[in-house]
Amino acid sequence: MLKKTNPWLREANLIGGSWVAADDGAVIEVFNPATGEMIGTIPAVGRAEVKRAIDAANAAFPAWAAKTAAERAAILLKLAGLIRANLDALAELLTLEQGKPLAEARGEVGGSANYVQWFAEEARRVYGDTIPSPWADRRLMVTREPVGVVAAITPWNFPSSMISRKVAAALAAGCTVVVKPAELTPFSGLAWGVLAEEAGIPAGVVNIVTGHAPPIGDEFLENPLVRKITFTGSTAVGKMLAGRASAAMKRVSMELGGNAPFIVFDDADLDRAVTAAVQSKYRNSGQTCVCTNRFYVQAGVYDAFAEKFAAAVRDLKVGSGFEAGVVQGPLIDDRAVKKVESHVTDAVAKGATILTGGKRHALGHGFFEPTVLRDATPDMKISTDEVFGPVAPLFRFETEDEAVRLANATEYGLAGYFFTRDLSRAFRVGEKLKYGQIGINEGVITTEVAPFGGVKDSGVGREGSKYGLEDYLDIKYWCIGL
Ligand SMILES: NC(=O)c1ccc[n+]([C@@H]2O[C@H](COP(=O)([O-])OP(=O)(O)OC[C@H]3O[C@@H](n4cnc5c(N)ncnc54)[C@H](O)[C@@H]3O)[C@@H](O)[C@H]2O)c1
Ligand SMILES: O=C[C@H](O)CS(=O)(=O)O
């Protein structure tokens, strides 16, 4: 029913200002993860269509870059207003294709608008420099210029905000874009294109293509007109893209996988830690890159925390994202459920005890019971692999140094969290944790005004904040002889 009533659902691609099908008419079906029902179809385009999209972006680049920052900002502010004005319908579309509870979808769409507004404001602060010249007869300065055509690839877990976080920054800088949303959740991204047109973004500035990822990626990587690849997704795909992009001397931004630790020290406010633990672990049913993956609890409060945390998790209502009171929707697909099952099975086989949950929910489809495991150990898969689901393993530790060592024992470095009321410990531990983002006594820290990104295998570059624009700008040095 929603398909017919949702004004933002588009089953076409946006190329050069036209909404088109694949040249051969091929499509991919898109399913509701809560019911298994087909929502609609999207074009499965090939390299020829993607090349046309890149050509359109290239043709549109000079005029878009030539607009003043204030002109670009005015259009982006209008886009932010349109997203907010249509928040309910956009959130419904997001829940339909991704499954998250409507309240979370509304939060994501609101955040999507916030990123657009933020970069509209930042567009007018792309400053340069003058440099004291070592020559009496020359003047030196630095300007910053848009890199050009940007290829953006986004994941299924945040199909609206991940587009805004990339595309708004690129547009603010004066770049033009070809976006490939995830084939599992394409409609929020396509809706973004409809809104962009309504906001007055000229034809060819924003292009959106859908289909099987490898051929689209190949065109992005091999077409010399693409000057930058910005990617959010798994570390494995990110490393492949970054390697091939670097070989072609394209700029890259990589927002990749995580394995977040959540440390609870003996002196923590336990109730505050439990509330934050639920937020950090079970947001989007555990399907966020900054969800806690490992809970390290100091021996003195281990049993008390485990009991309080498990009790809070038992209260989480599982169901359709459209149902009132539901805070846990389905996982994106059966492959995701199977991965979560394998982590629980492995942990129990190696000595973990299930305090709550532990199996597929009776609702079937993508639903999995919110789960807490105690007596987890570092040899378990869930310690080294990103579970990307609603499972919380509790590890015990004795000393601060042991906690820091365990927390850093991963190739990832996106986000980490810890709870203490000791100010000296906050700085000691915060400085030792090797992560791009840390939360102290907080479990959800993302905001458009702060830099989002990781170190090590969690990627390179930052999104949001004043730093987010840098990834779409090149520096030019001017030496002017008088
Ligand atoms: N750091 C962040 O901000 C962030 C945000 C969301 C998700 N993630 C990570 O993403 C992973 C889960 O998301 P996912 O399953 O969608 O990841 P994924 O890497 O499978 O897919 C991400 C995107 O890449 C595309 N893709 C896949 N193979 C490609 C190829 N060969 N060429 C071009 N594009 C290709 C997909 O179609 C999708 O659009 C997790 O590891 C999560 O931590 C990170
Ligand atoms: O998982 C990906 C998102 O980046 C999480 S957040 O909403 O930005 O915190």
ipTM entry: 0.95
Tracing tokens 């020290």 back to the chain, one arrives at 265
pLDDT tens-digit series, residues 166-178: 999 999 999 999 9
Question: Residue 238 above 60 pLDDT?
Answer: yes
Please give the pLDDT value at position 8. 84
Q: Are 110 and 84 in contact (CB under 8 A)?
A: yes
Q: For the chain, what percent of residues have pLDDT higher than 70?
A: 99
Please give the pLDDT value at position 19. 98
Phi, psi (deg, nearest 5) at residue 426: -60, -45
Q: Determine the average pLDDT of the residues in 275-290.
A: 98
Tell how far the Cα of 467 is from the centroid of ligand 1, in angstroms.
Answer: 22
7 pLDDT tier (thresholds 50, 70, 90): confident
Residues with catalytic annotation?
255
Q: Determine the average pLDDT of the residues in 446-463.
A: 98
pLDDT tens-digit series, residues 68-87: 999 999 999 999 999 999 99
CA atoms of 102 and 352, how far apart (whole Å): 33
Q: For the chain, what percent of residues have pLDDT higher than 90?
A: 98
213 pLDDT tier (thresholds 50, 70, 90): very high
Q: Is the C-beta atom of 288 inside 6 A of ligand 2? A: yes
2 pLDDT tier (thresholds 50, 70, 90): very low
Q: Are 198 and 7 in contact (CB under 8 A)?
A: no
CA atoms of 370 and 362, how far apart (whole Å): 12
Please give the pLDDT value at position 305. 98
Q: Determine the average pLDDT of the residues in 356-369.
A: 96
Question: Residue 24 above 90 pLDDT?
Answer: yes
Query: pLDDT averaged over the chain?
Result: 97
Q: Is the C-beta atom of 213 inside 6 A of ligand 1? A: yes
Q: Is the C-beta atom of 164 inside 6 A of ligand 2? A: no
Q: Determine the average pLDDT of the residues in 145-159.
A: 98
* Distance, CA of 221 to chain centre: 21
Tell how far the Cα of 458 is from the centroid of ligand 1, in angstroms.
Answer: 12
Please give the pLDDT value at position 9. 87
CA atoms of 474 and 336, how far apart (whole Å): 39
Ligand that comes closest to the CA of residue 160: 2
Residue 153 parent element (H or E): strand 149-153
Ligand that comes closest to the CA of residue 152: 1
pLDDT tens-digit series, residues 417-440: 999 999 999 999 999 999 999 999
pLDDT tens-digit series, residues 386-418: 999 999 999 999 999 999 999 999 999 999 999
Q: Is the C-beta atom of 179 inside 6 A of ligand 1? A: no
Tell how far the Cα of 63 is from the centroid of ligand 2, in angstroms.
Answer: 33
Residue 283 parent element (H or E): none
Indicate the top mutation candidate among 47, 112, 153 to test ligand 1's pocket, ranked by most ligand atoms within 8 A of CB: 153
Model confidence, pTM: 0.97
CB atoms within 10 A of CB 210: 29
Q: Determine the average pLDDT of the residues in 190-205.
A: 98
Please give the pLDDT value at position 4. 53
Please give the pLDDT value at position 262. 98
Q: Are 340 and 392 in contact (CB under 8 A)?
A: no
